[in-house]
Amino acid sequence: MSEISEMSETSASISRYAKTCGLEVNEVPDGYVVYQSSKDRVHFLNPVAAVIFELCDGNHTAADIRSILVDGYDLSSFPDRDFEVALNTMVGEGLIQPCAQASS
């Protein structure tokens, strides 16, 4: 069972993510307000979630985003579980989606 979780962890870290088309994104003092017209929903992203969302440009893997956050916030330890939850929630809500690896 640990092999399965390691495999899913590995595939998640190499997955690239991109923002879903058709979102209305507004910057506010404490993050982003994202309107999703296809579901008539409003999402509130805190400042860290907003950075994660911005880095979902199809060029960064989850591991890249994690590394950028560690460096940018000068973290000695990283809240991996919270990061995973944030990515999974944004995917589940349809704000971001996994995308194909950029061709070399």
Q: Under CATH, to which class is 2-98 assigned? A: alpha beta
pTM of the model: 0.82
Give residue-wise pLDDT tens across range 20-69: 999 999 999 999 999 999 999 999 999 999 999 999 999 999 999 999 99
Tokens, residue 23? 């979102």
Cβ atoms 102, 58 nearer than 8 A? yes
Cα–Cα distances (Å) from 28 to 21, 42, 46, 65, 102, in that order, read 20, 13, 9, 22, 31
At 8, the pLDDT band (50, 70, 90 cuts) reads: very low
